[in-house]
């Protein structure tokens, strides 16, 4: 009795899978038709008969096993994602593996064609990982092939040789972030960016050239014999142009 009930359960589950497979391939109103029948995926003649499909499933180890969430553990999977449903191209895989495969093999419409992510990454000449990352961040389909904004920014030429910021920092004993900030954020030339001693690096504080050295407002104020707040106020009045401040010769500036 128990065995008969299990056989009936297996048959019911396989009938559901078989019907859903047929609808995906042949029913244009099915929500997933564009990913199957719309791409030319068909079912082999042998499997158009449910009995033949049922016999293949049983002979290839199909059984009903439920996951904790109530979903059946095993599902039919095509080995070649562009191939048809047939014995040579199908296997039983667990639900978790198939869900992972689906996340990698999303289908996207681009230039009036349907691609999976691997096909589209090759079409756009970018990596599949890059493509998935851009899709996850909500990029427009039209922008997927654009080069990254930072593609050519992280290279500079110094003494006739091209360096990345990392290479330049390594050669002159500095931190990559400090070299990048000095050149990109503060607009220093390369010579100036690599000559400040490593112990003086303070990328979160603005530095000014004073008496041939790069110094903070605090250090400059101390050398001038005035308070930091006073110098800060004067710098602000001169749009942070230290040369203009020194020209005015305010108060006790040396």
Label residue 203 by pLDDT band (50, 70, 90).
very low
Tell me how far CA of residue 205 lies from CA of 21, 86, 197, 208, in angstroms. Answer: 64, 67, 15, 10
For residues 34 and 25, is the Cβ–Cβ distance under 8 A? no
pLDDT of 18 over the 70 cut: yes
User: Which of the residue ranges 10-19, 48-57, 99-108, 186-195 would you say has the lowest mean pLDDT?
Assistant: 99-108
pLDDT of 226 over the 80 cut: yes
Mean pLDDT of 235-239: 82
pTM to 2 decimal places: 0.40
Label residue 119 by pLDDT band (50, 70, 90).
confident
Average pLDDT, the chain: 78
| Residue among 15, 143, 17 nearest 85 (CA) | 17
Rg (C-alpha) for the chain, rounded Å, is: 33
Three-state DSSP class for 44?
A: coil
Q: In this predicted model, what pLDDT tens digit does every residue of 138-189 receive, in sequence order?
A: 777 777 777 654 444 467 888 888 888 888 888 888 888 888 888 877 778 8
One-character DSSP codes across 196-207: S-GGG--TTS--
């Amino acid at each position: 009795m128990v065995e008969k009930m299990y056989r009936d359960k297996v048959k019911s589950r396989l009938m559901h899978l078989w019907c859903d497979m047929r609808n995906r391939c042949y029913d244009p109103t099915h929500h997933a038709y564009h990913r199957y029948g719309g791409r030319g995926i068909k079912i082999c003649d042998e499997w158009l008969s449910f009995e033949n499909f049922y016999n293949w499933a049983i002979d290839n180890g199909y059984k009903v096993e439920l996951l904790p969430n109530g979903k059946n553990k095993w599902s039919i999977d095509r080995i070649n994602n562009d191939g048809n449903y047939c014995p040579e191209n199908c296997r039983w895989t667990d639900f978790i593996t198939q869900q992972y495969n689906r996340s990698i093999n999303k289908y996207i419409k681009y230039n009036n064609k349907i691609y999976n992510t691997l096909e589209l990454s090759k079409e756009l000449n970018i990596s599949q990982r890059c493509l998935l990352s851009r899709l996850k961040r909500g990029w427009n389909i039209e922008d997927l092939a654009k080069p990254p904004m930072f593609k050519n920014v992280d290279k500079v030429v110094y003494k006739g040789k091209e360096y990345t910021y990392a290479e330049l920092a390594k050669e002159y004993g500095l931190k990559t972030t400090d070299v990048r900030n000095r050149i990109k954020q503060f607009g220093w030339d390369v010579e100036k960016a690599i000559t400040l001693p490593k112990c003086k690096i303070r990328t979160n504080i603005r530095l000014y050239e004073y008496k041939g050295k790069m110094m903070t407002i605090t250090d400059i104020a101390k050398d001038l014999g005035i308070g930091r707040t006073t110098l800060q106020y004067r710098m602000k009045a001169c749009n942070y142009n230290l040369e203009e401040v020194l020209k005015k010769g305010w108060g006790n500036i040396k």
